[in-house]
Structure 1
Amino acid sequence: MLDPIVAFFQRVFSAIGRGIGLVIAWILFPFIAVGNWYRGRSWIIKGPIGIGLLVLIALYAYFIWQTQAWTNFDPDYVNRYNLAERKNDAGLPVKAAAGQTAPANTCERSAIVDVTADLVDFNVNQNAWISSMLLYKAGLFGMDWDHTPWLDNKASFQRGVNQAVRRTTVELVDSLGRVRGTSGINNNLQRARSNLQFDETAWYFGLDPFGPKTPTPSFYRSAMRDLQAFNESLVKCESIFDARSDNLIEFLDRIANDIGSTSAMIRERSENHNGGWFDTRADDRYWFAYGQLYGYYGVMVAAGADFDAVITQRGLAPIWQESIKQLRAALRIQPLIISNGREDGWIMPTHLATLGFYVLRVRSNLVEMRDILAR
């Protein structure tokens, strides 16, 4: 009685097996054909081709390693700055502890600038900048890696960190690093901003325009040095850091708008492309937003030290600390595989919507702090 049923399933599984076999044969056919052609050639032809293949294999091994090794990735990286022990706002003369003599002509360095420079260092020195690597630009058989589930998470994370860095340098140039209306733009900060706006995907050679180019990491390293130079001049009281409440209002407003744009991006992907584990672009959106929060976590902690007097005088300390806690809480979400499932689904997780919730909470706190300062 069960024989027909068993026979049916046998035919089904046999057909599935034949189908998988055909797909594998179709994928392997070009490689087998090339291998047969290669075996039939002389060593004069085999030698250069073999060396070229070995070089290509080595390049891919290096590329895959760089995309998977996240050197010095640490969600608690802000702890090494010991900012809670600082007693001065950025740019103000350093105060001596009781019984000590204050150093002459010494001002407090900017924690925001330190964190921003270190984030650039983390992106392009401690790690390889993935987005401008040749094999990343080449893609998978011509398909952009961002459209695949593989080898693109670190690149998206780095671009998210870079987004926070870019936004911060713009505000340093426009308001924080000058007395508005009475002083010129600081040259070090101006160069840093310009260099960080450079194309994220430039390699040593390009087609548009055609010819050799300076790769992206070189520009970002120059920006890092310019930021460090600004802080060194600030320590000597030769530069300006204007830690006024209106500058903090503008800074918070710009960060809130930047995070708001990311929130809209996450919402669009979550609502319109919720394919669960099969949404190959969900991981790009997720790790970009994660990288942005990773960057702003350090920048906000640093801003708390640079604007300590304003935050204390305006009673912002409790909500400021709550905002920092929420930023850190978002960084705890590190799923191995990103799933963009339905919010009311019960099989596939909704990692994208979960991170979007934290992004909105952070933005809400930023807006609230801005409104308190504006009263």
Structure 2
Amino acid sequence: MLDPIIAFFQRVFAAIGRGIGMVVAWLLWPFLAAHGWYRERSWIIRGPILAILVLLVIFYGQFIYRTQLWHGFDPAFVQAYKFDERTVPAGNPLPGEANRCQDSAVVAISAALTDQNVNQNAWVSSTLLYKLGLFGLDWDNTPFMDNKASFQRGVNQVVRRTAIQLADNLGRVRGTSGINNDLQNARGNIQFDESTWYFGTDPFGFKTPTPSYYRAAVESWNKFNTSLVSCDAVFDTRSDNLLQVLDGMASDLGNTSDILRRRSEEFNAGWFDTRADDRFWFAYGQLYAQYALLQATRADFSGVIRERNLTTIWTEMERQLQAALRIQPAIISNGSEDGWIMPTHLATMGFYILRVRSNMVEIQSILDR
């Protein structure tokens, strides 16, 4: 009785096996044909081809190394700066030390975040192989090799916003004094295009690559802090300046939350959404940078935070950021919010972003009274 059934399934599995074999043979045929052609050629032809193949292996090996290894990644890296041990706000004279002022934690962390992006790591977005894409397809439109680039751009978005605040508000007295040259130079350099390589076509010719500009911004920030320590520069820790800093961060989070919402609602493809990973890691990079800079801001504006009784809510805001940064899935999924197989990492990240933003808005309302 069972023999016909067994025979049927044997034929089915045999057919599936033949189909898989045909697919594999179809995929391998170009390589086998190329190998046969290559073996019959002389070394005059084989030598250059072999050299090109070796160079491709080296270039792509370096590319994979740059995109997959994250050096210096640590959401808690700010703790090494021991900002909680500072006793005076940024720019104020240090007690018992003549002609010595407190440097700015915000400036130091802006430099550290950028240093992590371009010195401790390669700036992925402007590398040649990243710009070439996968057979002409932008890496951002694939599930491969783009997570680190998106994370770096998220960090850089926050640092750019901070650079504007430093030059326009924090580094001058009530906006009436002249703009500090170092902060002005840093702002200009950090705003440079994120994807410039050594050569380009628009306009055509050789160019200075993106990382060089960002390294120059790091140098300018370090120079400013050196001047601040010598009391030769200004860092204005007024409550309205703190309000401006938080307003910029909240605005960025609101925009990112909307991007995550639209992607989550319109593309419920689960693990097969090829753009979910870069959306997630861009948002993660923003929170990573904001968490670091908010700890620095707390040190620089310690007087205002203490006078306005903001310590408790500020601590809660940092706790929300810590919780968000613990989300580090190996594979990003953009599933339906009521799904039961594929998770929805974008909606989860958006939830944490809104919680952090609500804390920021609450602090702003207190400062604005």
Name the TM-score class by shorter chain. over 0.9
Distance 1:43 1:366, change over 3 A: same
In structure 2, the partner of 1:318 is: 312
Displacement of 1:144 in angstroms is 1.3
Aligned partner of 1:40 in structure 2 is 40
> CA RMSD of the aligned region, Å?
1.5
Q: Which amino acid is 1:92 matched to? A: N
State which drifts further: 181-190 or 120-129: 181-190
- Is the contact between residue 317 and residue 360 of structure 2 (CA under 8 Å) also seen in structure 1? yes
Deviation at 1:145, TM superposition (A): 1.3
2:133 corresponds to 1:146: no
Amino acid at match of 2:42: S
1:45 is displaced (CA, Å) by 1.4
1:27, CA displacement in angstroms?
Answer: 3.2
Query: How far apart are 1:33 and its partner, in Å?
Result: 3.0
Contact 2:114–2:215 (CA under 8 A) maintained in structure 1? yes
Matched, 1:134 2:134: no
Q: Tell me, which stretches of 5 or more residues in structure 2 are unaligned? A: none
What CA distance in whole angstroms lies between the structure 2 residues aligned with 1:329 and 1:182? 40
Label 1:46 to 1:367 Cα distance change in 2 as closer, same or farther (>3 A).
same
Q: TM-score, normalised by structure 1?
A: 0.95
1:225 aligned to 2:219?
yes
- 1:113 aligns with 107
**For the residues of structure 1 that align with 2:156 and 2:68, how far apart are their CA atoms?**
19
Within-5 A mapping of 1:202-213: 202-213=196-207
1:184 and 2:187 are equivalent in the alignment: no
Q: What residue in structure 2 maps to residue 328 of structure 1?
A: 322
Give me the whole-angstrom Cα distance separating, in 1, the residues matched to 2:244 and 2:81.
25
AA of the residue aligned to 1:209 = P
- Structure 1 partner of 2:61: 61
**How far did residue 25 of structure 1 move?**
3.4
User: 1:344 maps to what in 2?
Assistant: 338
Superposed, which structure 2 residues align to 1:259-338 within 5 Å? Answer: 259-338=253-332
1:367 is matched with which residue?
A: 361
**Closer, same or farther: CA 140–273 of 1 in aligned 2, 3 Å:** same
Residue of structure 1 equivalent to 2:192: 198
Is the 2:182–2:223 Cα contact (8 Å) retained in structure 1? yes
The CA deviation at 1:23 is 3.6
Deviations 1:314-367 (A, max 9, x none): 111100010011111111111111111111000011111111111111111111
**1:242 maps to 2:254:** no
Q: 1:186 to 1:8 in 2, by over 3 A?
A: farther
Instruction: Give the deviation of 1:31 after TM superposition.
Output: 2.7
Return closer, same or farther for 1:289/1:16 CA change in 2, 3 Å cut-off.
farther
Distance change in 2, residues 1:149/1:16 (3 Å)? farther
Give, in angstroms, the shift of residue 36 of structure 1: 2.5
Identity %: 64
1:6 positional shift: 4.3
Count of residues in correspondence between the two structures: 369
Residue segments in structure 1 that go unaligned for 5+ positions in a row: 96-101
State the distance in 1 between where 2:17 and 2:164 align.
Answer: 58
CA distance in 2, matches of 1:170, 1:12: 66
Deviations 1:8-64 (A, max 9, x none): 544544444444434433433333333232222211111112111101101111111
Change (3 A) 1:86 1:36: same
SS in 1 for 2:340: coil
Shift of 1:7: 4.7
Q: Contact 2:89/2:302 (CA < 8 Å) preserved in 1?
A: yes
Task: Identify the residue that residue 93 of structure 1 maps to in structure 2.
Answer: 93
Moved runs in structure 1, 4+ residues, more than 6 A? Answer: none
Change (3 A) 1:12 1:245: farther
Structure 1 residues 291 and 19: CA distance shift in structure 2, 3 A: farther
**CA distance, structure 2, for counterparts of residue 275 and residue 310 of structure 1:** 47
**TM-score of the two chains, using structure 2 as the length reference:** 0.96
Note the C-alpha offset of 1:146: 1.2
Deviation, structure 1 residue 156? 0.9
Say which is worse superposed, 7-16 or 301-310, in terms of deviation.
Answer: 7-16
**Separation in structure 2 between the aligned mates of residue 250 and residue 259 of structure 1, nearest angstrom:** 14
CA distance in structure 2 between the aligned counterparts of 1:139 and 1:306, rounded to whole angstroms: 42
For the structure 1 residues 10 and 262, does the alpha-carbon distance in structure 2 shift closer, same or farther, using more than 3 Å as the test? Answer: farther
State the shift of 1:5 in Å.
Answer: 4.6
**Which residue identity does 2:158 align to in structure 1?**
A
The answer to whether 1:155 aligns with 2:130 is no
8 Å CA contact retained: 2:224, 2:233: yes
